[in-house]
């Protein structure tokens, strides 16, 4: 089992809080800023967004509203698949920075890999996107770079041309879709894995296994789920609009799931939340 820590160090020495606040679908301008400020008030110091979420300016506004210093908050954004390749990745980055109006980002990710289903030259496209990411990193305007939804067979070809190995890979990971092998492969290559939609959009919390473990440990099903993600060595990015649940989702550092209980969750059948395997996406 991976040792669970409240902060994790990326391979370039940058520290990242282990639990991030996910902001997908938090996109109504006014409420998004208020929700992000509320999350920071609840204790989050790591906010995850993306150009695709359409809320970068609101996330920035929420950070300002919170009164917590910018440098005390770890902010991630991502380049969307419409902006792959060297030039377009730079364009997307400049647009993101304009939205944020901060002088730097903590982490910038490639949101989805180009895949063979859609592109004969997918390796070249990913390599060119990554070349821009490396330059962006060297410019000093981002503290770390990485990818999202890349599986080992997308990363291996990238390694052939990359000067800098991605520091993070954000993947779908939840009960019912536990990509344990991919997460382990990333950790073995010094890439910190993060988990998007770790609660299965709430659906993963309804099953009998999670609810009975919640009773056993005196925790909520969401806390069991988040702890399970952490014990697998991934950084969970749960989302909640409710201040009490925001706080609850951070209180997971005072207990430990046994190996046997971890396995009970590992082997759960898929739930109702649809998995999004990167190689099968129609549009990507």
CA 261, 262, 264 angle in degrees (round to 5)?
60
Is 198 an interacting residue with respect to ligand A2P (CB under 6 A)?
Answer: yes
Q: Which part of the chain contacts ligand A2P (CB under 6 A), choosing from 30-38, 95-103, 114-122, 241-249?
A: 241-249
Q: Could you give the 3-state DSSP secondary structure of residue 134?
A: helix
Q: Which is nearer to ligand A2P, 242 or 258 (CB)?
A: 242
Q: Which is nearer to ligand A2P, 22 or 146 (CB)?
A: 22
Tell me which residue of 68, 62, 77 sits closest to 32, measured CA to CA.
62
Which value, to the nearest 10 degrees, does the dihedral of the CA atoms of residues 62, 64, 68, 72 take? Answer: 90
Is 224 an interacting residue with respect to ligand A2P (CB under 6 A)?
Answer: no
**Which of 44, 52, 53, 81 is the catalytic position?**
53
Q: How far is CA 272 from CA 164, 204, 205, 210, 226, in A?
A: 38, 8, 11, 15, 19
Is 193 an interacting residue with respect to ligand A2P (CB under 6 A)?
Answer: no
Is 268 an interacting residue with respect to ligand A2P (CB under 6 A)?
Answer: no
Strands 15-17 and 21-22: unpaired
Q: Answer yes or no: 53 catalytic.
A: yes
Q: Which is nearer to ligand A2P, 84 or 197 (CB)?
A: 197
Spatial distance between the Cα atoms of 142 and 146, rounded to a whole number of angstroms? 11
Please state the closest distance from residue 76 (CB atom) to ligand A2P, in A. Answer: 15
| Binder among 189, 245, 251, 264 for ligand A2P (CB under 6 A) | 245
| Binder among 73, 249, 261, 268 for ligand A2P (CB under 6 A) | 249
Q: Tokens 């208020």 correspond to what residue?
A: 34
CA 191, 192, 196 angle in degrees (round to 5)?
125
Where on the chain is the footprint of ligand A2P (CB under 6 A)?
Answer: 22, 197-202, 205, 220, 222, 238-242, 245, 248-249
Q: Would you please indicate which residues are annotated as catalytic (active-site) residues? A: 53
């Amino acid at each position: 089992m991976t040792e669970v820590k409240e902060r994790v160090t990326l391979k370039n020495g940058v520290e990242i809080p282990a639990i991030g606040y996910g902001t997908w679908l938090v996109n109504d301008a006014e409420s998004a800023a208020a929700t992000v400020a509320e999350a920071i008030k609840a204790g989050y110091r790591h906010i995850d967004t993306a150009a695709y979420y359409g809320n970068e300016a609101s996330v920035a506004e929420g950070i300002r509203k919170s009164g917590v210093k910018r440098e005390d908050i770890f902010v991630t954004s991502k380049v969307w698949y419409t902006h792959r390749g060297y030039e377009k990745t730079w364009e997307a980055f400049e647009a993101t920075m304009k939205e944020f109006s901060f002088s730097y980002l903590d982490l910038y990710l490639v949101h989805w890999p180009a895949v063979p289903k859609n592109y004969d030259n997918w390796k070249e496209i990913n390599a060119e996107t990554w070349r821009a990411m490396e330059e962006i990193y060297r410019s000093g305007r981002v503290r770390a770079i990485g990818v999202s939804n890349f599986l080992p067979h997308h990363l291996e070809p990238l390694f052939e041309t990359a000067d800098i190995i991605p520091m993070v890979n954000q993947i779908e990971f939840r009960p019912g879709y536990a990509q344990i092998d991919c997460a382990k492969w990333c950790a073995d290559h010094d890439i910190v894995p993060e988990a998007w939609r770790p609660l299965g959009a709430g659906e993963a919390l309804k099953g009998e296994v999670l609810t009975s473990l919640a009773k056993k440990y005196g925790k909520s099903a969401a806390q069991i789920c988040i702890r399970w993600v952490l014990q697998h060595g991934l950084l969970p990015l749960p989302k909640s609009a409710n201040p009490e649940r925001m706080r609850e989702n951070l209180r997971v550092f005072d207990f430990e799931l046994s190996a046997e209980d971890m396995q009970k969750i590992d082997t759960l059948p898929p739930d109702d939340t649809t998995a999004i395997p990167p190689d099968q996406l129609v549009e990507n």
